[in-house]
């Protein structure tokens, strides 16, 4: 919960306080250890979660347009919009 919410120090303190008051929760000593660990490793944990959640490929470029058909055999198909989307993917970091 702490890592997924990327809690700041005030949020962390409130969260750990609630966990110590909850029946079957953590002790004050455990809360202190968790708080110290989070303060020392927050940036690394956050960066690790971000890198795990990214795809290998990233969107490098996107082009799109909407075409209208002007000539067809059947009159009910004229002016039917058609969307054309072109996406270029590339490796992350390249």
pLDDT of residue 93: 63
pLDDT digits (tens, 9 = 90+) for 21-41: 999 899 999 999 999 999 999
- 66: Cβ–Cβ under 8 A, 6 or more apart, which residues? 81, 82, 83, 84
For CA atoms 31, 32, 35, 40, give the dihedral sign.
negative
Residue 17 has pLDDT above 90, yes or no: yes
pLDDT of residue 92: 66
Q: What CA dihedral angle connects 19, 24, 27 and 28, to 10 degrees?
A: 40
pLDDT digits (tens, 9 = 90+) for 36-85: 999 999 999 988 888 777 767 778 889 999 987 777 677 766 777 888 99
- Global confidence as pTM: 0.55
Report how far residue 60's alpha carbon sits from residue 91's, in angstroms, rounded to the nearest whole number. Answer: 9
């Amino acid at each position: 919960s702490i890592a997924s919410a990327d809690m700041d120090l005030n949020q962390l303190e409130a969260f750990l306080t609630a966990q110590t008051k909850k029946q079957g929760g953590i002790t004050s000593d455990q809360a202190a250890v968790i708080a110290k660990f989070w303060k020392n490793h927050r940036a690394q944990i956050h960066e690790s979660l971000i890198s795990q959640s990214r795809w290998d490929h990233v969107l490098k470029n996107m082009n799109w347009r909407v075409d209208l058909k002007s000539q067809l055999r059947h009159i009910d198909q004229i002016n039917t919009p058609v969307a054309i989307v072109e996406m270029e993917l590339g490796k992350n970091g390249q």
